[in-house]
Structure formats: C-alpha cells, structure tokens
C-alpha cells in the first residue's frame, strides 16, 4: 500500500530513482510462545484457548503491579499498545463517552481494555491523550493504562491479549509490525486496512477489519464514523464470537498464527532487501 502511496506522491518528478516497497516483518523465533505454537501445529484448539488464558494471567500480574487492578483471564482482553501519536488515535474507542461506558459495564459480554506506550516528550497532543485516558479509566476496574513499551512489556501484552487494536488514520501507518508479533502469539488483529494489514487480513477468518470512512469528509467526521464502525464490530461480532463460539474464535486465532508466517517473518524481509534492493542473487542455505 505505501509503495503505491510513495509512487503517487513522487509522480511527475524527473530524475528520481526507482521506488520499491519491502514490507517490514518481525523475528518469529524471538517473539513466539513455544507452547502456543505447538498447540496450533497439533490443531489443538482447546490447547490454544488454554494457553492464551495462562499467558493472560502473566500479563495481569503487570496490570496489578502498575494499576492496582485485578483482571480475569476468562474475560476478553483488548490491547492498544504502541507509541502515542495523534494519527494513531489511542482514544478512538472511547470517543463516544456514553457508548464506551455501556461497553465497559456490559455484564453479558464483559471486556477488559489495556493501553500502553509512550508519547514523545514534546508531543503535547499525545501527552494530553495519554493523560485523558488515564483519568477517564482510573475509576474503571476493567480498564488500565500502563506506562512503557519496552521489550518485556511489549511481549507480555502481545501474549496476554485476545484482541490487538490498531486504528490509525488511513494511509498514515507505515507498517504496524506490533500486529505481526501479536498474531504470532494468538492475538487477533482488529484493524483498519493500513500498513501491513491489507497484505495479510481475511476479515472474519484471521482478523477483523474496520472499514474506513470516506476520505473526502472532514477529519472530525471521519473520526466519528470510524469510531462508530469500530464499536459496531466489537459489540456485534467480536464479543459474541468470543463468548458464544469459542471453537470458532480459536480457529480465527489459529488462522492468524498460520498466515503470519513465513510471509511476515524476518527471513522473508531480509531476502527481499537482498534481492530487490541490492539486486543480489539469494543463495540457498545449503550453498552458503
């Protein structure tokens, strides 16, 4: 997608080099959970669900330590975790205060939500978003704002989340590699079709896709429409599937784990840099 965007931006200019696109990736060997991977390979759907609950318990120790809140591994847990920036819209899910309140107090389909990440020190808009989310969710027992996004915390959130939320303004998320590592650990991507997602996603099969609003509308109106669509899918599709159809949910988790590799493993990316960017012949492993 962003190869197309780049070529469109530079179209009409003379004397510029060829522009190729190479999608980012993640090192599966570093990020994956071995037990979860084995359950998927053995087609053990119950094993997938059980291991996810075990990994959620580990994440919830961090939630208790940082936020003083006790989360339940049997409740669907949604995570938004990345750098705070305006275009990433950390607070989009809470844009409609009344609807957000109903979501987080629903007893039929309960939910737990975690935010994590850091704004740049002088990005005051992002700092305000962080602070507003913190104070808005402080009284809520099932919502937590964590600080930091270092490797250990990042891994814990990817392993301990059921749903990985990615809701940037369309065409502004260059890749979104966190969603790759989340998928490697059985977290289902819930995303706008930006960055790497259009190359991976099969809506309802390995992920859930939020349709973007008309780009001709004002940004404010786009945010309103996209917040509404996000909530519609979460309330009417994701939560009922998780609670009412656990085997179907486990299959979606497994599909994502299978589809993410090798297409978004670092071996593929390194090969493409070598062959596409440097125009070198890639040697087979046995001939190196």
Cα Rg of the chain, angstroms: 20
Residues in contact with 197: Cβ distance below 8 Å, sequence separation at least 6, in sequence order: 166, 176, 179, 189, 191, 207, 209
232-265, pLDDT tens digit by residue? 999 999 999 999 999 999 999 999 999 999 999 9
Cβ-based neighbour number of residue 270 at 10 Å: 14
- For residue 287, is pLDDT > 50? no
Cβ-in-10-Å burial (0-12, 13-18, 19+) of 98 comes to: exposed
- From 166, 2, 182, select the one nearest 80 (Cα to Cα): 166
134-193, pLDDT tens digit by residue? 999 999 999 999 998 899 999 999 999 999 999 999 888 888 899 999 999 999 999 999
The CATH class, in words, for 24-263 is: alpha beta
Mean pLDDT across 5-11 = 86
Q: Does residue 212 contact residue 193 with C-beta atoms inside 8 Å?
A: yes
Distance CA 37, CA 88 (A): 30
68-114, pLDDT tens digit by residue? 999 999 999 999 999 999 999 999 999 999 999 999 999 999 999 99
Residue 6 pLDDT: 84
SS3 144: strand
Mean pLDDT across 220-231 = 97
Residue 286 pLDDT: 58
Residue 288 pLDDT: 44
12-35, pLDDT tens digit by residue? 888 888 888 889 999 999 999 999
Q: Give domain limits for the chain.
A: 24-263
Maximum CA pair distance of the chain? 62
Residues in contact with 203: Cβ distance below 8 Å, sequence separation at least 6, in sequence order: 209
Q: Which tokens in the block code for residue 173?
A: 């998320």
Residue 1 pLDDT: 81
Q: Which tokens in the block code for residue 45?
A: 């759907």
Token match 């107090």: residue?
105
Residue 9 pLDDT: 86
Residue 188 Ramachandran class (φ > 0 left, ψ -120 to 50 alpha, else beta): beta
pTM, two decimal places: 0.93
């Amino acid at each position: 997608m962003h190869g197309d965007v780049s070529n469109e931006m530079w179209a009409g200019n003379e004397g510029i080099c060829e522009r190729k696109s190479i999608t980012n990736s993640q090192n599966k060997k570093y990020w994956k959970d071995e037990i979860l991977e084995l359950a998927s390979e053995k087609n053990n759907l119950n094993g997938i669900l059980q291991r996810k609950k075990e990994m959620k318990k580990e994440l919830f120790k961090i939630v208790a330590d940082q936020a003083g809140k006790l989360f339940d591994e049997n409740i669907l847990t949604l995570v938004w975790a990345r750098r705070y920036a305006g275009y990433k819209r950390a607070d989009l899910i809470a844009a409609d205060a009344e609807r957000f309140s109903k979501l987080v107090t629903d007893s039929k389909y309960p939910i737990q939500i975690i935010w994590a990440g850091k704004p740049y020190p002088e990005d005051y808009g992002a700092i305000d978003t962080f602070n507003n989310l913190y104070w808005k969710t402080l009284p809520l027992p099932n919502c937590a704002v964590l600080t930091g996004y270092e490797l250990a915390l990042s891994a814990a959130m990817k392993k301990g989340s059921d749903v990985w939320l990615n809701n940037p303004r369309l065409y502004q998320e260059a890749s979104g590699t966190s969603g790759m590592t989340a998928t490697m650990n059985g977290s289902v991507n819930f995303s706008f079709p930006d960055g790497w997602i259009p190359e991976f996603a099969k809506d309802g099969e390995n992920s859930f896709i939020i349709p973007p609003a008309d780009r001709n509308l004002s940004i404010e109106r786009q945010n309103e429409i996209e917040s509404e669509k996000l909530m519609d899918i979460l309330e009417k599709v994701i939560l009922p599937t998780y609670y009412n159809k656990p085997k179907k949910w486990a299959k979606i988790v497994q599909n994502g784990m299978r589809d993410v590799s090798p297409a978004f493993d670092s071996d593929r990316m390194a090969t493409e840099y070598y062959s596409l960017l440097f125009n070198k012949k890639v040697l087979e492993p046995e001939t190196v």
